[in-house]
């Protein structure tokens, strides 16, 4: 499993864009992790799935609510990464009203989850291989802090915990 001091894996995630922007067409766009984190501080959190109860009721809303405070603490971007496709993550972003506060990034084939060792096998529940619930503060591509939840828990990967680490 990835640990503090490690570099994030050089994989490509997908992000759904609803409006055409600088270098981004409408629809799914590739996000090369190595390039996207270079020179930035990223508050990154991973979770088992879009539209799932804890993820939708607590995890994402906490980061949306704390986005301004995280930015004041030196965070350049907030990323939510989940093993879903870009279309689902785009729909979830609309539902959660993440706007420009949280980038909703799809890890459709679980490449990022596998490469970091942060996987959760939910095959018996019909969901397949997913990401475990975690948060990390990433500085210029290196993990500065890492908070991995115990199975079924939501205690250390919340926005408040990561905000404290960003301020520290």
Which residues form the catalytic set? 55
The bridge status of strand 77-82 relative to strand 41-47 is parallel
Q: Is 97 left (phi over 0), alpha (psi -120 to 50) or beta?
A: left
Report residue 72: phi and psi, to 5°: -65, -25
Find the DSSP H helices in 14-157. Answer: 33-37, 53-54, 60-65, 67-72, 86-96, 111-116
Task: With CA atoms as reference, report the closest residue to 55 among 132, 148, 2.
Answer: 132
């Amino acid at each position: 499993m990835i640990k503090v001091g490690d570099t994030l894996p050089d994989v490509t995630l997908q992000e759904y864009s609803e409006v055409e922007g600088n270098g981004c067409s409408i629809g799914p766009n590739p996000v090369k992790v190595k390039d996207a984190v270079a020179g930035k501080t990223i508050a990154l959190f991973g979770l088992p799935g879009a539209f799932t109860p804890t993820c939708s009721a607590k995890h994402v809303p906490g980061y949306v609510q704390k986005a301004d405070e995280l930015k004041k603490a030196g965070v350049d971007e907030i990323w939510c990464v989940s093993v879903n496709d870009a279309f689902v993550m785009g729909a979830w972003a609309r539902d959660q009203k993440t706007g420009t506060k949280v980038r909703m990034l799809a890890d459709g084939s679980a490449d990022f989850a596998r490469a970091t060792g942060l996987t959760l096998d939910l095959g018996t529940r019909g969901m397949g291989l997913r990401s475990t619930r975690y948060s990390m503060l990433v500085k210029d591509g290196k993990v500065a802090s890492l908070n991995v939840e115990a199975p079924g828990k939501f205690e250390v990967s919340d926005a408040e915990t990561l905000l404290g680490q960003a301020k520290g």
